[in-house]
Structure 1
Amino acid sequence: MAEEQWRIEVDRGACVGTGLCVGTAFRHMRLDGGRARPVDEIVRPDQAVTDVAESCPMEAITVRNAATGEVLAPEW
């Protein structure tokens, strides 16, 4: 059975570049041109990734199951 993978998506139009995501998940997020961008779009499951999606003040970060597209965070 294949290992689960997650996809990190950032709405760069909604992002205001607070950097909270970088502080929360520095291994997974970076600022590029003053806006958030994932270091790698596809990642192994990591609580830091869902935490960053839940804590983004602009709700600009979404985490999905890479295989199914199911939204894992933020919880709506």
Structure 2
Amino acid sequence: MSGSVEVRQFLLRHEGGDPVGGVPSQRSGQADAPRVSDDQVRRARLAVAAGAIDARDCAQLLEMLGLVPDEEGVNPVQR
């Protein structure tokens, strides 16, 4: 499934990030990791929805990418 890679590349292009070899670098730790903003989450959800085949595919992709809020209302991608 290349959807998550495409979403990362999409977000990097629109955030001005510079991927290394076409793949974003891994975060080294919580202290120096920039937080994912609410706007980034919103745009990532839109990108996933635009690339999904159907509602089920969209729901699965959102869950895999940590873009679905948990019981406390926090998106896993923003922890």
When normalised by structure 1's length, the TM-score is 0.33
Q: Return the index of the structure with the highest Cα Rg.
A: 2
Report 1 or 2 for greater relative contact order, CA contacts < 8 Å, sequence distance ≥ 6.
1
More helix by share: 2
TM-score by length of structure 2 reads: 0.33
- Comparing both structures, which one devotes a greater share of its residues to strand? 1
